[in-house]
Structure 1
Amino acid sequence: MTKLPLPALARALARHMGRGWTAAPDRDWPNTVWELCLRDGRRIGLQLDTGRLLAEGRLPDAPDDVTPHTSSIDSGSIRMSAAKTPTQLAADITRRLMPTLDAAHAEWHNRVAVMREQEAQRTAAAEQLARVPGLSEPKRGRWLGGTETAYALSWKGPARAKRPDATPSARVWVDADTVGAHVRMELSGLTADQAESVLRALTDPALHPAPSDGRGSARAAAEPHDS
């Protein structure tokens, strides 16, 4: 069994793993867990446990602008006999853990890229609608069943009478997913003429988007009520 304490073992493993690897104590459990790290964000958690060395693949920290869902990404983990030399342990990690960690790292980067593209589409659509006179500035807002990343806008027209249903108003939410930006609207207090204008716009074939190719075609849903 290796007689090296975990800090010394981690440093030895970093040397044997190859160029670019460094060793550092874990940020949360510095006394019992160390990490092997690469600058591109790949990390391996190390922990000694009753004669075994646990090596666990770790993904990069989430960037400031998006938070990818990572619970379904398998970054790998293996257990090895602590009786092996650092050279043998490094070879085991390279052969048994790194292929899984490399694939997980690529998937993580793909999800970050997708989320950034969706955010760009979401923001562009919200800014487009915000240019309509009278609409509020876009603010983050969540509708029932929607996401926290959605933008919310609103509009309220002049009241025709002292009743809530006699004041035309619109609530608008803008979000994006794998088929691109999409809009949800809730309309109330409309006159028949206003409702007709909305419905004619929705049913005009010239305004129908082309079928989605997965690269950002928009779709819209209007939900008139209380007209």
Structure 2
Amino acid sequence: MSSTTMPDIRTLAAAVAAELGPDWTCAPDEEPYRFWITTAQEGRGRGRGSAYVSSGREGRGIRLFVDPYASGRGIGRVHVHGRRPEAPGDVVIHDADIRFGRITVAGTKPPRQIAAEIRRRLLPQLDTGMARWRERVEAERAKDEQARALALRLASVSGTATLTRHVHTPDSEGPSWHLTCPVPPHGPGHPAAPSAARAVIEVTSDAAGPHARIELSQLNGVQAEQVLRALEAEAGEPDPVR
């Protein structure tokens, strides 16, 4: 198949969406880091477009495109990939290991047959991936809630009100809660001096549960000894029942 006979992917995607049913819609998909073939005329160069169909009711999405660099039997074949959901804004999701499904079909097939292939071969993969992704979102939100509960307990001990939440990048472990408090705690009517000892606490949560990282500064000798003795005493105590 020559480049001039490649399928017009945008027209094809719209027809496939119609065949999949009334819940499915079609829209252009522009991504600067990928190159797509969109029409027969653009098949001689690097097209900058593809199309995807999505079902708003179920949150599923499917991207269709033609590989402009394919050779041999791959020329003109339509790639159909399950589309991962948009990342939530409140938690960090590591989903590189989740597969949302991908198949290829001949570009010469009519939309009805392509839709049938999608139902039979792709949607089961996509639904499995979507279920795993939703489970992971809920698990991450549960871990964040555990971290928040611990941060609130620590804040109540210190009497601090400077509790803030940070959502990190996808390369990090997830959201964290930060608080700063004087050591020992001071009441609202007795603010700590600028040179007084302080604790900066970061609370996060992972598969093992919530944990805190505490940085102490400006401790005098007595306070430093008290901290170390408290840690030593705690190490010999049985784990508290939660």
Q: Scaled by the length of structure 2, what TM-score is found?
A: 0.69
Residues 1:178 and 2:210 are matched in the alignment: no
Distance 1:197 1:136, change over 3 A: farther
Once the two structures are superposed, residues 33-71 of structure 1 have per-residue CA deviations (whole angstroms, 9 ceiling, x without a partner) of 000101132111111343211111111101221231122
The count of corresponding residues between Structure 1 and Structure 2 is 201
Distance 1:27 1:105, change over 3 A: same
Distance 1:67 1:95, change over 3 A: same
1:100 Cα deviation (Å)? 1.2
Once the two structures are superposed, residues 64-91 of structure 1 have per-residue CA deviations (whole angstroms, 9 ceiling, x without a partner) of 2123112211112111111111111111
Aligned pair partner of 2:55 in 38, 41, 50: 38
2:66 maps to amino acid: L
Q: Are the equivalent residues in 2 in contact too, given 1:121–1:181 (CA < 8 A)?
A: yes
2:148 maps to amino acid: T
Aligned pair partner of 2:106 in 75, 81, 100: 81
Q: Could you tell me how far apart the structure 2 residues matched to 1:137 and 1:117 are?
A: 23
Most deviating of 40-49 and 51-60 = 40-49
Distance 1:22 1:152, change over 3 A: same
Distance 1:133 1:37, change over 3 A: same
Once the two structures are superposed, residues 167-195 of structure 1 have per-residue CA deviations (whole angstroms, 9 ceiling, x without a partner) of 64433221111232222334463517623
Give SS of 1:74's match: coil
Aligned to 2:175: 149
- Output the aligned Cα RMSD: 3.2
Q: Could you tell me how far apart the structure 1 residues matched to 2:103 and 2:149 are?
A: 45
Once the two structures are superposed, residues 1-42 of structure 1 have per-residue CA deviations (whole angstroms, 9 ceiling, x without a partner) of 998622221121112223411111114378520001011321
Residues 1:209 and 2:212 are matched in the alignment: no
1:200 Cα deviation (Å)? 6.8
Most deviating of 185-194 and 170-179 = 185-194
Q: How does 1:99-110 map to 2 (within 5 A)?
A: 99-110=124-135
Residues 1:13 and 2:16 are matched in the alignment: yes
1:18 maps to amino acid: G
Q: Are the equivalent residues in 1 in contact too, given 2:92–2:175 (CA < 8 A)?
A: no
Q: Could you tell me how far apart the structure 1 residues matched to 2:203 and 2:97 are?
A: 27
Q: Are the equivalent residues in 1 in contact too, given 2:91–2:175 (CA < 8 A)?
A: no
Q: Are the equivalent residues in 1 in contact too, given 2:91–2:141 (CA < 8 A)?
A: yes
Query: Any stretches of 5+ residues in structure 1 without a counterpart?
Result: 159-165, 211-216, 218-227
Q: Percent identity among equivalent residues?
A: 35
Q: Could you tell me how far apart the structure 2 residues matched to 1:173 and 1:64 are?
A: 20
Aligned to 2:66: 48
1:177 maps to amino acid: D
Q: Could you tell me how far apart the structure 2 residues matched to 1:77 and 1:196 are?
A: 56
Q: Could you tell me how far apart the structure 1 residues matched to 2:50 and 2:166 are?
A: 40
Distance 1:196 1:75, change over 3 A: closer
Query: Any stretches of 5+ residues in structure 2 without a counterpart?
Result: 33-37, 39-47, 68-74, 185-194
Once the two structures are superposed, residues 177-225 of structure 1 have per-residue CA deviations (whole angstroms, 9 ceiling, x without a partner) of 123222233446351762376237624747x324xxxxxx6xxxxxxxx
Q: Are the equivalent residues in 2 in contact too, given 1:41–1:61 (CA < 8 A)?
A: no
1:5 maps to amino acid: D
